[in-house]
Amino acid sequence: MSDSRKCLIYICSILCFTGAASQEFQLEPQNLFVLKDSDAQFRVTIQGPWEVMTWDVGDVQVLTLPINSPSIPATGRFEASFCVTDDTSCVQFTIINTTRNDTGRVACTVQNRPGQKVAQLHVQESGTVSILGGDTTVPQDEQVEFQCVTSAWFPTPTITWNQNGEAVNSSLYNTTSVADGDFFNATSVLKFQAVRNTTVQCLATIPALTNPVSSSVFMVVDATVPVPPDWTVLIAVVVSFGGCALLVLLIIAIVYCCKRRKQKQTNYQDEMSRRVRTQSVVSVSGQRQGRVNNAYTPDSQTSVAPSEVSDFDQEKVYSVITLPDILHSHYVENSDGGPYNTVDETGFRKHRHVTIV
């Protein structure tokens, strides 16, 4: 194939594509946000001639527009017209007094044109905004708090704060929202330190709003009003030291109790050992024999039954009150014929006593 024929085919392809493109149409905007009860308008531009145009809202065809006749609306809330009189290349479609039920797809179809152009309609509702408490006077350097409440919004509004016309850093406030039927309520809390007189403004907005809804209060800073002391740090320190002291006392008490218990066990073991040793000594001493005393004469009762001896002290203790002097005394016979008793020079009789323990 020659180069000239290639060039001709390429030019024909471009012309065919341009002709096909010129037969297409565009729908704008692709996403439209409007408030409830306001009008929603879409615009379609068409290249080249056309005959019939139809419009659908949701899954329902609401309007048919022939190019050579006035609009034929399906209901009184929908209408179409040329953007400029006698200019068929631009058509404007309007939904009057929108409702939440209109939210969804809006489609345009042109007869003998390929495809269907679709856009999205979002019908929203704005509610109320208020800062609780109103204007206020606070001590200087006090931590202040403002609460902004929004009610009956759809969807959830975006809340921001301004101080003296300047946007507040989002780290200084937090926002929560909750559903209430078909609407949303939101609460935002702003905290900052009072330094100077300030106008505080709360703003709520949704995409359908051109300007946000706002509420403002004025804060007066009074340097003569004393700031109440903040006991938080002191309480935290006292609690910390108190907790440490209680822990130390508890440890000391546990150690003391353990030592006492161990000491009692040791004393008990020592006492048992002492008693065992004592019994051993008594047993051994009971087997020892004394020397014979020639001067000893047994009395009528000189023995004690073994059962009368104590379990812990079986050692016999003998105490002689007076021993006879054999060299310087003489014996006198008892009147009853019993053994002799010693009599000293003074004439007194001496008796021997034995104490058994």
DSSP state at residue 125: B
Q: What is the per-residue pLDDT across 148-158, written as a single tens digit (0 to 9) for each?
A: 999 999 999 99
What separation in angstroms does the CA of 338 have from each of 32, 94, 298, 330? 149, 159, 12, 16
Cβ contact 130:188 at 8 Å = no
DSSP state at residue 314: -
Cβ contact 124:183 at 8 Å = no
Cα–Cα distance, 144 to 196 (Å, whole number) = 12
**Runs of H (alpha helix) within the chain:** 3-22, 232-285
Q: What is the per-residue pLDDT across 305-351, written as a single tens digit (0 to 9) for each?
A: 444 444 444 444 444 444 455 445 444 445 455 554 544 545 545 54
Q: What is the per-residue pLDDT across 266-298, written as a single tens digit (0 to 9) for each?
A: 777 777 777 777 766 555 555 545 555 555 555
Single-letter amino acid code for the residue at 182: D
Cα–Cα distance, 325 to 310 (Å, whole number) = 35
User: What's the pLDDT score for residue 171?
Assistant: 94
Q: Per-residue DSSP letters for 185-202? A: EEEEEEEEE--S-EEEEE
What separation in angstroms does the CA of 318 have from each of 262, 314, 339, 347? 42, 13, 21, 26
User: What's the pLDDT score for residue 224?
Assistant: 79
Cβ contact 343:331 at 8 Å = yes
User: What's the pLDDT score for residue 293?
Assistant: 55
Nearest to 132 by CA among 116, 145, 118, 114: 145
Q: Which residues have CB under 8 Å from 80's CB, separation 6+?
A: 53, 55, 63, 65, 71, 73, 91, 92, 93, 94
What separation in angstroms does the CA of 75 have from each of 12, 64, 71? 47, 11, 11
What separation in angstroms does the CA of 213 have from each of 69, 125, 126, 151, 183? 43, 12, 8, 12, 16
Residue, of 324 and 133, whose pLDDT is higher = 133
DSSP state at residue 355: -
Name residue 109's beta-bridge partners.
54
Does residue 84 surpass a pLDDT of 90? no
Report, in this order, helix, strand and coil percent for the chain, each rounded to 5.
25, 35, 40
User: What's the pLDDT score for residue 237?
Assistant: 85
The b-or-e profile of 55-94 (16+ CB within 10 A means b, else e) is: bbbeeeebbbbeeeeebebbeebbbbeeeeeeebeebebb
Residue, of 356 and 50, whose pLDDT is higher = 50
